[in-house]
């Protein structure tokens, strides 16, 4: 290896030496790699992934280079990771908290978030990866550079690979990735197009704004109380879902400037064959067919993932919603007359 080569002549001389070495060794497969020398101030990090018996593929991030084994400053996360989750994972390390304080590295740190999210997608898409280590990953002012990668293929993966262990979760993961197949554009009776898609963890700010627009009556019928407090932990439970257990869909308008106008959820019971259905539509969009579109879509998804029964718990004073359930052949279940809730059930066959 030759480093700190200053001009073309030094590169040519180094190449000639290596060429003679290849001839002496008699290795026909040998190749010479020429790379630019990094002269700017840099930090050595590492990103890796390996398969765990208990959790499937896990992702590692931390201090890299020669200090990796000495310092053991690393964090572990589970894919899928978006940029927000990637940043939260990195914030668990001392090196990242130090780097955050350096204004000159803010561009490089944003690039690092994107790289970690893309790395997460790589291990999702390729279950054949047994382990992969990127070390060192060089963090610079505006970008990152990979210096070394080692990958091991999982030879134990069966040829007839069954992709899912639940309805949506691949066998090599613990958390199902975002189910793109459930994104759909639908047209309302007045011609307005709305987009229906699964909820994502980064929807938290938009979901907060949506709940804040609801009337007191809509809040009461959906949550059973006139007002709701919405701290981060509360909203996080709405947005960070296990798609194999609880799946939520949003109706949005506005293209890139998305605005939520409806929220519908399927919360599975422990038998995994039945689920509670609940939804709410923005007051300004009620009566325009949004609820019907969400109900049709949700029933279709429920059948697709093998559910046999849907249940809705509705306040008896919410007669409009009860009539809406009857429209879709939900049947009223016997209840205690003193109970304030009406239980409706739909047999999906």
Instruction: List the chain domain ranges.
Output: 1-37, 40-153, 180-347
285-310 confidence digits (pLDDT tens): 999 999 999 999 999 999 998 899 99
Least confident span in 43-47, 234-238, 278-282? 234-238
Residue 49: other Cβ atoms inside 10 A: 22
- Topology of domain 180-347 in CATH is Aminopeptidase (3.40.630)
209-219 confidence digits (pLDDT tens): 999 999 999 99
239-280 confidence digits (pLDDT tens): 888 888 888 999 999 877 889 999 999 999 988 899 999 999
Q: How far apart are CA 64 and CA 95, in angstroms?
A: 10
CATH of domain 40-153: 3.30.470.20
What's the rounded mean pLDDT across residues 220-237?
Answer: 80
Among the listed residues 69, 77, 82, the one whose alpha carbon sits nearest the alpha carbon of residue 48: 77
Say what the pLDDT of residue 111 is.
93
For residue 255, the number of C-alpha atoms closer than 13 Å in the C-beta half-sphere is 1
Distances, alpha carbon 263 to alpha carbons 234, 297, 316, in Å: 16, 12, 21
Say what the pLDDT of residue 4 is.
81
Reply yes or no on whether the pLDDT at 234 is more than 60.
yes
Reply yes or no on whether the pLDDT at 337 is more than 80.
no
132-179 confidence digits (pLDDT tens): 999 999 998 888 888 889 999 988 876 665 554 455 777 888 888 888
Q: How confident is the model at residue 84 (pLDDT cuts 50, 70, 90)?
A: confident
């Amino acid at each position: 290896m030759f480093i700190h080569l200053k001009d073309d002549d030094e590169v040519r001389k180094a190449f000639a030496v290596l060429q003679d070495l290849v001839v002496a060794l008699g290795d026909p497969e040998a190749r010479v790699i020429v790379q630019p020398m990094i002269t700017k101030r840099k930090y050595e990090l590492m990103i890796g992934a390996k398969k765990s018996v208990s959790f499937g593929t896990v992702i590692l991030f931390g201090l890299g280079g020669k200090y990796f084994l000495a310092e053991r400053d690393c964090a572990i996360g589970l894919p899928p990771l978006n940029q927000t989750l990637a940043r939260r994972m990195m914030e668990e390390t001392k090196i990242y908290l130090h780097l955050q304080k350096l204004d000159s590295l803010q561009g490089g740190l944003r690039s690092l978030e994107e790289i970690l999210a893309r790395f997460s997608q790589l291990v999702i898409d390729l279950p054949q990866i047994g382990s992969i280590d990127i070390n060192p990953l060089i963090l610079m002012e505006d970008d990152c550079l990979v210096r070394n990668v080692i990958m091991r293929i999982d030879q134990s993966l069966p040829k007839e690979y069954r992709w899912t262990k639940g309805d949506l979760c691949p066998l090599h993961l613990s958390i199902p990735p975002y189910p793109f197949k459930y994104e759909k554009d639908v047209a309302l009776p007045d011609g307005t197009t709305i987009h229906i898609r699964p909820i994502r963890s980064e929807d938290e700010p938009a979901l907060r704004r949506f709940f804040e627009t609801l009337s007191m009556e809509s809040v009461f019928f959906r949550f059973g109380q006139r007002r709701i407090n919405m701290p981060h932990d509360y909203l996080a439970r709405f947005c960070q879902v296990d798609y194999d257990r609880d799946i939520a869909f949003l109706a949005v308008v506005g293209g890139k400037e998305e605005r939520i106008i409806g929220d519908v959820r399927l919360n599975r019971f422990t038998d995994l064959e039945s689920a509670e259905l609940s939804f709410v539509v923005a007051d300004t969009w009620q009566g325009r067919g949004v609820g019907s579109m969400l109900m049709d879509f949700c029933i279709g998804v429920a059948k697709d993932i093998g559910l046999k029964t849907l249940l809705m718990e509705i306040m008896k004073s919410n007669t409009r919603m009860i009539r809406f359930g009857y429209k879709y052949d939900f049947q009223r279940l016997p209840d205690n007359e003193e109970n304030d809730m009406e239980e409706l059930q739909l047999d999906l066959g």
